[in-house]
Amino acid sequence: MDLDKLIIYRNGSLVPYAESKVGILAHGLNYGTGCFEGIRGYWNAKSDQLYFFRLLEHYERLANSAKLLLMDLPESPERLCARTAELARANGFRCDLYIRPLAYKSAEEIGVRLHNVTHDFTITEVPHKAYFDSTAGLRASVSSWRRIDDNVAPARAKLTGVYVNSALAKTEAVSNGFDEAIMLNAEGHVAEGSAQNIFIVRSGVAYTPPVSDGILEGITRRTIIELCQRELNIEVIERSIDRSELYIADEVFLVGTAVEVAPVIEVDHRPIANGKVGPKATALREIYRKATLGDLVGYRHWLTPTYDSTAAAKIQQAERAAAT
C-alpha cells in the first residue's frame, strides 16, 4: 500500500495520510489513552459493491470505548458510517478493506490522567490482507498472561493501552511455536484469544464466555451467536468456561473481525476431538462469509453499501467499455 497516496479522515476533513502527523509527546502515544475499532469492508465483485460489515455497531462500541476514556466522538455513529463510505469513495477503493477509526488524546503534554486532555479522531482505510490463513485450523496454547481484569482496565472496550495485554500473550504463543494464545481471566476461566472471542462445542451445544468474564464485547461473537441459533439451530449458552473444558470439547473456534471464524484443532499440544477442523466451525465459516458479501438476503441489514448501485453499474460499464 502506497501510504503517500492515501486519503484519511481527520477531525472532520479528508486529508492526505502523509500530512497527518502525531507529536512525540502526544498523550495517547505515551499513556495508551486512545481507543479504536477494527472493521472490514468486503468487495463483492459480482454485485460491484463494497460492503462494510456491521458498521453502526462498531461505531457504537467505539462511542462506548471513548466514553470510558472521557472522550466524545466528533459525530454520531450514524454520521461516522456515512463518513466511512465517503472516505472509501474518495480513495476509489474497489477491494476488500480494513478500516481503523481511532480516537486518541492528542495533547502534547506530560501528565497521566483522563480529564482535560484534548483529543483527535481519525479514520484510516487500507486494502485488506489476511494476516494468517486459519482454514487448516490453529494450534493454540493457554497463555501464562491473564486477560486484564475489569478492575484494572476494561477489556470490554478497545483501548489502545490495554492491547499490551494481547501483544504479550500473542508473542508468547508464537515464540513457543503456537499460532494463537487463549487467555484465562483473573478467576482462571477461559476469556478469549489475543484478538478473538472464543466458542467451544460440547455435545451439540455451543458455549461462549459471558461479557462479564473480562472479554471484549465482540461484534463477530454476537454475529456467531445469531447465526448458530437461526441458521444452524445450535443452542448457544453464555457461561464461564473452564480450562479443562477446552481439552475435552468437540470443537473450539475463535471469532473476530480479522479471522472471521478460525477453527482451533489443538490446545496445549492436545488435539481437539480428532484434531481436524470440526463441522460446526466449517458451516459457520461458510455462512459468515456469505453474510459479509451480501449473499444472504436475511442479513443484508448488517451491510452498509459504499457505492450507490446506479453509480456502481456505471463504473462497471465504463470499465467493460475500456477493456474492449
Binding residues for ligand PMP, per CB under 6 A?
38, 166, 192, 195-197, 216, 218-221, 256-257
Residue 226 burial class via C-beta count within 10 angstroms: exposed 0-12, middle 13-18, buried 19 and up: middle
- Residue of 21, 46, 105, 158 with catalytic role: 158
* Residue closer to ligand PMP, measured from CB, 94 or 170: 170
Q: How far apart are CB 107 and ligand PMP at their closest, in Å?
A: 26
Least distance from C-beta 220 to ligand PMP, angstroms? 3
Hey, what amino acid is at 80? L
The residue among 10 and 58 lying less far from ligand PMP, judged by its C-beta, is: 58
- The minimum distance between CB 146 and ligand PMP, in angstroms, equals 13
CB closer to ligand PMP out of 102 and 117: 102
Residue spans of alpha helices (H) in 49-153: 55-68, 77-91
Q: How many helices (H) and strands (E) does the chain have?
A: 8, 17
Q: How far apart are CA 192 and CA 283, in angstroms?
A: 21
Q: 198 to each of 169, 213, 231, 247, how far by Cα in Å?
A: 15, 12, 19, 14
Q: Any alpha helices (H) in the chain, and if so which ranges?
A: 27-31, 55-68, 77-91, 163-175, 219-231, 243-248, 279-292, 309-323
What is the smallest separation between the CB atom of 222 and ligand PMP, expressed in angstroms?
8
Task: Look up residue 56 and give its amino acid.
Answer: L
Q: How far is the CB of 197 from ligand PMP (least distance, A)?
A: 5
Give the CA angle between residues 235, 257, 246 to the nearest 5°: 50
DSSP 187-225: TS-EEEESS-EEEEEETTEEEE--GGGT----HHHHHHH
Write down the residue that cell numbers 492436545 correspond to. Answer: 270
For ligand PMP, which is the closer residue by CB, 48 or 260?
Answer: 260
Q: Catalytic residue at 158?
A: yes
C-alpha cell at 310: 446506479
Name which of 215 and 267 has its Cβ closer to ligand PMP: 215
Q: Which is nearer to ligand PMP, 171 or 317 (CB)?
A: 171
Shortest reach from residue 259's CB to ligand PMP, in Å? 8
Q: Specify whether the CB–CB gap between 222 and 211 falls below 8 A.
A: no
Q: Which residues are catalytic?
A: 158
